[in-house]
């Protein structure tokens, strides 16, 4: 198939949304598909303000890039990251082309906003509404309109979790037949290297890897680590951007957590291999590749029952799921694993086996099959 990918990010194979698009493109090409790419440097940007760019500039940039590409050739599928591609989807629909327009979401924006608002009421009580918030309200309404617009105009939607799939269907009215839930994958290098045995030294080491953002629930990670720090035998590591290390320290009630900066994929794999338990208690995840990376390296994952964790982890067998926001539950799960090394070793092996069922080749095959099914339905 001839496929056009468009995403308003840089082509970085190791970042979140960009990495997913990058790896999917590479895997589709490996299957023999012809893929053209449009990234942020091609889309262009004049508006520096993020939300203004998304609301006013990006929909037109996507449409402009699509029309430019369609002058050169026809495509069987046009695959656009983010709901801001709604204007391109509308234009493509009205052009009457034979291909299909696919919206790819890495976490549906209105779904993220609803979940974040729920937890902010508990962990970050809202301050009095400022004049800036009042002034920004029309902009937020404009951005919020993009999700129902892409739901209306796109031929199909790819999400990474069943929770986002349900939101598309139940809240945005998308026909379930036009939704594909395609789980993401760990890097091929993580799957190729043999998994180290989960010995007692690894089991004493607790790891967290994630961006320092509210929906990742850093306060839950900090509370769980602070509680577990009463055990002098445990060691803790937190990997996030160095710019946020001071903020992390403010959340912690212990000085026994080692903070590390973002690093290369190979170095990150080494860090995983030095640890035995991985914490991932996010409030929301479109998918959350870090937990699957940890599973692929044989860590026992303790994660919130959300996003990709809900879909991938077999609770009690290949990992442990706890309710979002439950720091005490996270700490209790860690203590339970450390008190039963035999169970932890079984979970480590089950996690590594389960993770090897999630490859980028599988992502590409399921993505191409979804394109083809929608093309046949459209004909």
Could you tell me the residue ranges of all domains in the chain?
Answer: 2-185+359-378, 188-355
* Biggest alpha carbon–alpha carbon distance for the chain: 66
Give the predicted TM-score (pTM) of the model. 0.93
Tens of each residue's pLDDT in the chain, 379 residues: 999 999 999 998 877 888 899 999 999 999 999 999 999 999 988 888 777 888 889 999 999 999 999 999 999 999 999 999 999 999 999 999 889 999 999 999 999 999 999 999 888 765 544 545 544 566 677 788 999 999 999 999 999 999 999 999 999 999 999 999 999 999 999 999 999 999 999 999 999 999 999 999 999 999 999 999 999 999 999 999 999 999 999 999 999 999 999 999 999 999 999 999 999 999 999 999 999 999 999 999 999 999 999 999 999 999 999 999 999 999 999 999 999 999 999 999 999 999 999 999 999 999 999 999 999 998 8
Q: Please report the pLDDT score of residue 141 as a whole number.
A: 79
Q: Please report the pLDDT score of residue 163 as a whole number.
A: 97
Per CATH, which fold does 2-185+359-378 belong to? Rossmann fold (3.40.50)
CATH code for the structural domain at 188-355 = 3.40.50.2000
Distance CA 324, CA 303 (A): 8
Beta strand ranges found along 73-213 (DSSP E): 77-81, 100-104, 156-159, 179-181, 205-209
Distance CA 173, CA 152 (A): 8
Q: Tell me whether domains 2-185+359-378 and 188-355 share a fold.
A: yes
Buried b / exposed e across 13-42, counting CB within 10 Å, b at 16+? eebbbbbbbbbbbebbeeeebebeebbbee
């Amino acid at each position: 198939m001839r496929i056009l990918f468009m995403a308003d990010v840089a082509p970085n194979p190791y970042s979140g949304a960009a990495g997913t698009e990058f790896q999917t493109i590479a895997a589709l090409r490996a299957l023999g598909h012809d893929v053209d790419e449009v990234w942020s440097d091609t889309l262009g940007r004049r508006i520096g303000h993020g939300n203004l760019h998304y609301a006013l500039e990006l929909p037109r940039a996507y449409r402009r890039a699509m029309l430019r590409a369609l002058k050169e050739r026809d495509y069987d599928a046009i695959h656009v990251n983010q709901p801001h591609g709604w204007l391109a989807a509308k234009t493509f629909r009205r052009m009457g082309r034979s291909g299909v327009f696919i919206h790819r979401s890495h976490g549906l924006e209105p779904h993220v906003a609803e979940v974040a608002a729920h937890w902010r009421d508990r962990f970050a009580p809202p301050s009095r509404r400022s004049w800036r918030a009042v002034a920004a309200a029309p902009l937020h309404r404009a951005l919020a309109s993009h999700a129902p617009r892409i739901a209306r105009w796109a031929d199909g939607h790819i999400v990474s979790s069943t929770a986002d799939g349900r939101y598309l269907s139940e809240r945005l009215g998308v026909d379930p037949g036009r939704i594909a839930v395609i789980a993401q994958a760990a890097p091929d290098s993580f799957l190729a290297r043999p998994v180290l045995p989960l010995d007692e030294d690894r089991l004493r080491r607790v790891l967290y890897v994630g961006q320092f953002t509210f929906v990742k629930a850093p306060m839950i990670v900090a509370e769980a680590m602070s509680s577990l720090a009463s055990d002098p035998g445990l060691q803790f590591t937190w990997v996030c951007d160095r710019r946020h290390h001071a903020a992390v320290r403010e959340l912690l009630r212990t000085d026994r957590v080692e903070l590390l900066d973002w690093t290369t994929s190979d170095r990150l794999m080494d860090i995983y291999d030095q640890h035995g338990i991985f914490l991932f208690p996010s409030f929301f995840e479109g998918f959350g590749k870090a937990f699957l990376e940890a599973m692929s390296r044989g860590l026992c994952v303790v994660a919130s029952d959300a996003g990709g964790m809900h879909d991938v982890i077999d609770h009690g067998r290949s990992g442990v799921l706890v309710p979002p926001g439950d720091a005490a539950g996270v700490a209790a799960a860690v203590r339970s694993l450390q008190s039963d090394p035999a169970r932890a070793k079984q979970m480590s092996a089950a996690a590594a086996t389960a993770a090897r069922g999630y490859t980028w080749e599988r992502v590409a095959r399921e993505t191409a099959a979804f394109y083809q099914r929608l093309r046949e339905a459209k004909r």
